[in-house]
Amino acid sequence: MRRIIGAFKNPASRPRAIIWSGVALVGIVMFSAVSVIGTSVNWFCTDPCHVVHLDNTKTFEAGSHVQVNCVSCHEPVNANPLVFVWKKLEVAPDLIPTIMGTFDLPMNKGSYVAVEMPDIMCTQCHALENRDVTPSSGIIIDHTAHSSQGVTCATCHNRVAHPEENVEYTLPGDEKHENWMTMDACFRCHTLSGESESKTPATGKCAACHPAEFELVPTTHAADGWYTRFGASNGHADAAKAEASQTAEAMAAEPLELKHAVGPVLQTAASVNNCYTCHLETFCSDCHGLSMPHPADFRKTHSEQGLSKPEVCAPCHARSAAEAKDRAFCNACHHPDSKPGVLWRTQHDDVVKSKGIGECFDCHGAMYCEACHVRGPAAAEKYLRDN
């Protein structure tokens, strides 16, 4: 340092000191500029760090923003040079886990990047006041109504720059993210019951969000076996069970404390029961006429309900309209060898003759046969209720 200062004080060496200082300053400026610019192009974000961003690069290249620099969305908008350089230094420590291969997966768990992203990252290009909005086919969205309530763009558009639909992830342990542009995701805020984080219940009117030509009924509902009165109906029941199981699993998982830039901590879309985006939670019970799914002890108590209200059981358990009469539908489960539509009482003797009475006593007490054969059908029913 003394030599440098001395060089400037010495008239003979001063010109050379000024020249070399200028060269050093220009070198520093050029190095800084090249470093900042070089680390701001998509090549740097993808190729040198390709091990970390291999899957992210795949999704980025599959999206509509592939011609936009990564920093346009992942660095502060219109930041001054100092902030820009600081952001570069801030992520510099990530170089260590990148080289060592110790980076955490899945990346961007819970879409926390979208949760923290302010609107300006989107509106720097997509200003709603001067751009026609083109929502996906079949959807009507009032963007102003949402933005006026502080709902950020990325609260819904979390996968717009990194779509995952047709991309296969490569990195072990990496996982795909929820897409918040689905109806399930809408119900993170809105519910038919009126109990929602946004305090704005869904209207329950399909026309509020879907145009008239939109097909409201899912294709699964029209498939064979979805529901047929007195016929195959396992489709809707299996779907309801699967959805309830998945929802329960998602709700039991460790919660992610992800609070949106403006608004509450929202539940995950996976914890939203898809059935309840169209139907009230009481829909199943209202349709079946009894608690659905059946209570845990229903196997022990259902006979009383079946005897008192057979019309409730028949739509699901009767194999034909004829079998729905006179409680003959009970044969479908209790007497699988019976003929549909024919009272078991008129045909059970043929089955007993061919197969014996051993299986009868799996359900009936030893005195049941006597109760009916000696004292009549009314006594047999009383015996069933009492035993």
pLDDT tens sequence across 120-135: 999 888 877 776 666 6
3-state secondary structure (DSSP) of residue 119? coil
Query: Is residue 255 in a domain?
Result: yes
Co-location of 191 and 307 in the same domain: no
Rg value, the chain, Cα = 35
Query: Is residue 322 in a domain?
Result: yes
Range of the domain at 307: 290-341
Cα of 256 vs its chain's centroid, Å: 14
Co-location of 270 and 311 in the same domain: no
Percent of the chain topping pLDDT 70: 82
Does residue 64 surpass a pLDDT of 80? yes
Co-location of 227 and 313 in the same domain: no
Task: Choose one of 341, 356, 379: the last residue of a domain.
Answer: 341
Phi/psi class of residue 268: alpha, beta or left (left: φ > 0; alpha: ψ in -120 to 50)?
beta
Co-location of 169 and 276 in the same domain: yes
Span 264-315, pLDDT tens digits: 677 888 889 999 999 988 888 888 888 888 888 887 778 777 667 777 888 8
Nearest to 156 by CA among 139, 181, 178: 181
Co-location of 109 and 149 in the same domain: yes
* Helix (H) / strand (E) containing 274: none
Q: For the chain, how far is it from start to end, CA to CA, in angstroms?
A: 104
Co-location of 235 and 328 in the same domain: no
> Can you tell me the distance from the alpha carbon of 158 to that of 7, in angstroms, rounded to the nearest whole number?
59
> Can you tell me the distance from the alpha carbon of 28 to that of 24, in angstroms, rounded to the nearest whole number?
6
Span 196-229, pLDDT tens digits: 666 677 878 888 889 888 888 888 998 888 988 8
For residue 117, which phi and psi values (nearest 5 degrees)?
Answer: -80, 120
Which of these ranges, 107-116, 137-146, 202-211, 326-335, has the smallest mean pLDDT?
Answer: 326-335
Per the CB < 8 A criterion, the answer to whether 368 and 383 are in contact is: yes
User: What is the DSSP secondary structure assignment for residue 259, as one 8-state letter?
Assistant: B
Half-sphere exposure of 112 (CA within 13 A, CB side): 8
Co-location of 297 and 327 in the same domain: yes
Per the CB < 8 A criterion, the answer to whether 182 and 164 are in contact is: no
Q: How many domains does the chain have?
A: 2
Residue 337 vs residue 383, higher pLDDT = 337
Beta bridge partners of 259: 265
Cβ atoms within 10 Å of 260's Cβ, excluding its own: 19
Give the position of tokens 């290009």.
Answer: 125
Task: Choose one of 266, 284, 302: the last residue of a domain.
Answer: 284
Q: Which two tokens stand for residue 387?
A: 């035993």
> Can you tell me the distance from the alpha carbon of 118 to that of 347, in angstroms, rounded to the nearest whole number?
73
Query: Is residue 136 in a domain?
Result: yes
Query: Is residue 28 in a domain?
Result: no
What does pLDDT average to over the chain? Answer: 80
Does residue 104 surpass a pLDDT of 90? no
Co-location of 187 and 276 in the same domain: yes
Task: Choose one of 284, 311, 330: the last residue of a domain.
Answer: 284
Give the position of tokens 């061919």.
Answer: 354
Give the position of tokens 């009469």.
Answer: 325
Co-location of 195 and 209 in the same domain: yes
